[in-house]
Amino acid sequence: MLIEKGSKLGLIAGNRTFPIHVARAARAQGYQVVAVGLKEETEPDLEKEVDVMHWVSFPQIGQVPDLLKKEGVRELILAGQIRPERLLERDHRFDDLIQQLLKWIPDRSGSSAMKLAVHYLEAQGFRVLDSGTFLKDWIPAAGPLTRRAATAEEQADISYGLPLARQISRAGIGQTIVVRRKAVVAVEGMEGTDAAIRRAGSIAGPGCVVVKACGPEHDMRFDIPVVGLETISAMEEAGAGCLAAEAKRTLFFDLPQLAAEADRRGLAIVVV
């Protein structure tokens, strides 16, 4: 048992639906959820899915540990992205604690910032759980998720792209590359997976293959690879017919619905 049933789980929530999925799953499994949301990022609907909700502005994010301590939280999950470009804002906008912590990171990548955040939270006495802890049913083993399998040409692009995707993830650049005929068309940067897919479509046209992966020492506590319905829509817009992702290391939001939607659109999703 990760934490005692009925005990409080802290949830530090970023944007989009990831925090909502975590909150629903954790409460369904018998945990009380105490969430801290960012006014500039977090979906307001999260408040309906948790037992206790606190809101802070991004520049005051240094208040989060004290808020969770006062609620009696010891274990917590980080879920949802904070837009990486926020780290490029001028330091004077942040509270004193964050200004001091930012001096310790080697660069302003999201990966470096989140590693520091986890280290600080642990130093404050919290145990940070893998962000997919309560969503294991949506983290599949190897195999096809759709009726359509990858074609021979798509499979060749997957084999070519997978080690490259691992390299860019290890470097803290992104988790996704888009390949066509063994040529890298787009590499995910700060814009995120879906924007990278659309950019690839505008460059290479239909037939691209999306490959999502992470490095061998990737920290699943704050940056688990995620595929959602938005990614499926971006693929259709770009004419990308196939997506490959790593087995037991990729979270597919609402997996049955996502697979059904990919089938409806004639896409292939392969877990490797």
Total residue length of the chain:
272
Assigned CATH topology for domain 136-271: Cytidine Deaminase; domain 2 (3.40.140)
- Per-residue pLDDT of 104-119, as tens digits, reads 666 656 667 777 788 8
Q: Tell me the pLDDT band of 88, cut-offs 50, 70 and 90.
A: low
Average pLDDT over residues 92-107: 66
Ranges assigned E (strand) in the chain? 8-13, 32-38, 52-56, 75-79, 127-128, 143-144, 176-180, 183-187, 209-212, 226-227, 242-245, 251-252, 268-271
Domain positions in the chain are 8-128, 136-271
Architecture of domain 8-128: 3-Layer(aba) Sandwich (3.40)
Q: Which residues pair with residue 184 across a beta bridge?
A: 179
Separation between Cα atoms, residue 125 and residue 253, nearest integer Å = 30
Residue with the larger pLDDT of the pair 39 and 86: 39
Q: In a 3-state reduction of DSSP, which class is residue 156? A: helix
